[in-house]
């Protein structure tokens, strides 16, 4: 049931956009056309000269205009929730989906896991190869993320810069760590050259994993803060690794204090 609801969330945004256009544009235009018809039929001596031709032309133009507005509105809706460089979701998409997903996960006592993924020594990569190469590197990492996290309920977003976030619904710690290691290994196997890295000679990532206890009420900020703490430990212990933590009250207080 929870999976079904999560699958229909993207469609609901389209339905809302359609409803808005229907009530703001289509309905008033239909009423205006009906009014024109009434005026034409009630004119003394019959319809206005060439009325049918004029009405057909006007209706066609109005219909085309409404269709263009609808397409433009849908495109804007899509752009608003996507990262323009990688095509992944952005924080707005994340928040929209989690507003529904987190309460459902608590209700059905499902664990939620989150992965904060940071590219190792990405500043050095940009300095050596240039920002265009840096953008291409991020696009390649986004492709690896898509190949790793394929469930319809997986939420994959770019937080900004070289940082990405994946939220896994109904995934315990073992599953989350397994997928994180798979993604890390897959990227290293791609072999994007990185001579400025102190880790190895290819691009690598460090991944902090946060796992909630089943049914425990947590916020997005709680989850990200815990995953960030795991990521910080990755960097302190050599990078190019995965470290997981469970979201607890103690962890949340510690990570806030560190911030």
Q: Could you tell me the CATH number of the domain that includes residue 185?
A: 3.30.70.270
| Active-site residue, from 22, 44, 162, 195 | 162
Beta strand segments in the chain, E:
112-119, 155-160, 163-169, 205-211, 242-246
Task: Please report whether residue 149 resides in a domain.
Answer: yes
Burial 189-214 (b: 16+ CB within 10 A, else e): eeebebeebebeebbbbbbbbbbbee
Q: Which of 80, 95, 122 finishes a domain?
A: 80
Is the same domain home to 142 and 63?
no
Is the same domain home to 170 and 228?
yes
Task: Please report whether residue 89 resides in a domain.
Answer: no
- pLDDT tens, 84-126? 999 999 988 888 888 877 787 777 678 889 999 999 999 999 9
- pLDDT tens, 231-246? 999 999 999 999 999 9
Q: Given this model, what pLDDT does residue 259 score?
A: 45
Task: Please report whether residue 145 resides in a domain.
Answer: yes
Range of the domain at 210: 110-258
Task: Please report whether residue 95 resides in a domain.
Answer: no
- pLDDT tens, 10-40? 556 555 555 665 566 566 666 666 665 565 5
Domain count, the chain: 2
Tokens of 189: 């196997």
**Average pLDDT in the 69-84 region?**
63
The answer to whether the beta carbons of residues 224 and 114 sit under 8 Å apart is yes
**Average pLDDT in the 71-92 region?**
74
Q: Rounded distance, CA 101 to CA 151, Å?
A: 14
Q: Out of 125-129, 139-143, 158-162, 254-258, which region has the weakest mean confidence (pLDDT)? A: 254-258
If you search the block for the tokens 């989850």, which residue do you land on?
Answer: 223
The answer to whether the beta carbons of residues 197 and 204 sit under 8 Å apart is yes
Q: What is the CA radius of gyration of the chain?
A: 26
Task: Say whether pLDDT at 208 is over 80.
Answer: yes
Q: Rounded distance, CA 110 to CA 105, Å?
A: 5
End-to-end CA distance of the chain: 38
- pLDDT tens, 124-136? 999 999 999 999 9
Task: Please report whether residue 202 resides in a domain.
Answer: yes
Concerning whether 95 is annotated as a catalytic residue, the answer is: no
């Amino acid at each position: 049931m929870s999976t079904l609801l999560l699958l229909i969330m993207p469609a609901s945004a389209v339905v809302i956009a359609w409803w808005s256009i229907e009530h703001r544009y289509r309905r008033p235009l239909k009423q205006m056309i009906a009014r024109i018809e009434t005026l034409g039929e009630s004119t003394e001596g019959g319809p206005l000269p060439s009325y049918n031709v004029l009405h057909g032309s006007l209706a066609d133009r109005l219909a085309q205009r409404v269709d263009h507005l609808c397409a433009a509105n849908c495109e804007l809706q899509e752009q608003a929730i996507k990262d323009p460089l990688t095509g992944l979701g952005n924080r707005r998409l994340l928040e929209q989906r989690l507003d529904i997903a987190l309460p459902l996960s608590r209700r059905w006592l499902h664990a939620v896991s989150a992965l904060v993924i940071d590219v190792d020594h990405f500043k050095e990569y940009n300095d050596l190869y240039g920002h265009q190469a840096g953008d291409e590197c991020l696009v390649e990492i986004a492709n690896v993320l898509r190949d790793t996290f394929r469930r319809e309920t997986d939420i994959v977003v770019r937080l900004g810069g070289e940082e990405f976030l994946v939220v896994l619904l109904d995934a315990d710690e073992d599953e989350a760590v397994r997928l994180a290691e798979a993604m890390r290994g897959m990227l290293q196997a791609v072999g994007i050259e990185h001579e400025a890295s102190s880790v190895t000679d290819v691009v690598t990532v460090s991944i902090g994993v946060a796992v909630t206890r089943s049914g425990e009420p947590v916020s997005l900020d709680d989850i990200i803060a815990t995953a960030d703490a795991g990521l910080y430990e990755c960097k302190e212990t050599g990078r190019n690794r995965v470290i997981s933590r469970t979201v607890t009250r103690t962890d949340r207080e510690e990570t806030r204090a560190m911030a």
